[in-house]
Amino acid sequence: MKFLKKTTCIALAATLTMSVFPSYSIGAATIAELEAKRKALAESSQKAMKEIENIKAKKLSAEEEMATLDKALSSLQAELDAAEDDLAFLTAKLNAAEAELEEATIKREMQFELLGKRLKFLQEKGSTGYLEILLESESFSDLFLRMQYVNDIMIYDRNILDELQEIQDTIQAKTDEIAESKAAQEEVVRIQQEKVDSMEVVVKEKQALVASYQNDVKKYEQMIAANNKADQQVLQTIAQQQGSSTKYYTGNGKLGWPVPSKSASSSSLSSGFVTRKSPITGKTESHSGYDIPAGYGAAIVAAEAGKVTYSGWMNGYGNTIIIDHGGGLSTLYGHNSSLVASKGQMVSRGQTVAKCGSTGWSTGNHCHFSVMVNGKYVNPESYLGVKNISR
């Protein structure tokens, strides 16, 4: 996969090098050679557009996968957070239990020390100690009570010590149990963290892939833009060489409206001769004419009498007709679904030359109409008598 990606990038770079920096010497080229160069540019741009479509499809698929991975990562992170909360609870619980165990141990040791002191006293005194206690009695009943006190104290000490030992054993068992649970929970957190880390790696890889797709799209778009620029240079040269000094005007000095099914007014335009954001690439571009929306298959007619100098596929414009009206004036009709007039044909004003469509770089059925003077695009406003729009 990495080798394929690397090979694709090398091929793309080589293609871009040839396309972004075209080395055409068109000064002394024949019309046939110029048209062959335009055809090569068109084929190159067509391939690039297909590559862009393929890359965008892959990019969309990768983005959908990334969205799924993001959801999975969020779920794993939530599980990890919950596991860490549980671990924090067990840690706090274990700390409290260890504190209780320490306190119980201290109490038991104090009681054991107290009992030890009493036993030591009795051991040191021996029978004398008992005799002192008994001899100090004032009566038989007092003697009995004194003997009972000694016995009770010994029993009490013993019971307290047993009770403290039992408490200590209980707390110790509790502490061991919590420590065991904490160890198990630490393992749960570790495994969950590994899942999160692994998923984050996959997500980052997918993000890098999406970014690479986007970069490839930009490169192909740059190549197409360069092709279009080179194509316009060739087109201007063709127009200059093919331009007739004979004027074919038959109208009143203004060109006719190219889409009879729509009124000749600014309200019929969807875009004018302006600098705008391309609906295809989203980038700023110089729009070279008027866009006139119409129904699919609607008649597109010649704005004036003249000779068809181009009838075929053109970069960006799709199926295109160019008519030379003489005196350096030409008109272009782009994005057609089909072409009616053929190259070299003489046409009259208002004659159908094509059918409306959405070929090339287009987002809907319309006629792109351009006016060229000596091969350069000019504002159609004064030629059609229809005011330009700002979008």
| Phi and psi, residue 272, nearest 5° | -115, -170
**CA–CA separation, 379 and 391 (whole Å):** 14
pLDDT of residue 280: 57
Residue 12 has pLDDT above 60, yes or no: no
Q: Treating both helix axes as pointing N-terminal to C-terminal, what angle do 127-135 and 140-242 enclose, rounded to 10 degrees?
A: 120
State the Cα angle at 24 between 19 and 28, rounded to 5°. Answer: 165
Query: Of 32 and 54, which is predicted with more confidence?
Result: 54
Query: Torsions phi, psi of 339, nearest 5?
Result: -115, 130
Domains of the chain, first to last: 28-242 (1.10.287.2610), 247-384 (2.70.70.10)
pLDDT tens for each residue of 70-114: 899 999 999 999 989 988 888 888 888 788 778 877 877 776 677
Chain centre to alpha carbon of residue 331: 42
pLDDT per position as a tens digit, 245-290: 555 545 456 899 999 999 999 999 998 998 766 655 666 667 889 9
User: Per 3-state DSSP, what percentage of the chain is helix, strand, and coil (rounded to 5)?
Assistant: 60, 15, 25
Looking up tokens 């600014």 gives 266
Q: How far is CA 170 from CA 98, 110, 175, 246, in A?
A: 12, 18, 9, 114
Q: What single DSSP character describes residue 277?
A: E
Give the model confidence (pLDDT) of 288-321 as tens digits: 899 999 999 999 999 999 999 889 888 778 899 9
Instruction: Tell me the pLDDT band of 375, cut-offs 50, 70 and 90.
Output: confident
Highest-confidence segment of 25-34, 77-86, 145-154, 225-234: 77-86
Task: Say which amino acid occupies 195.
Answer: K
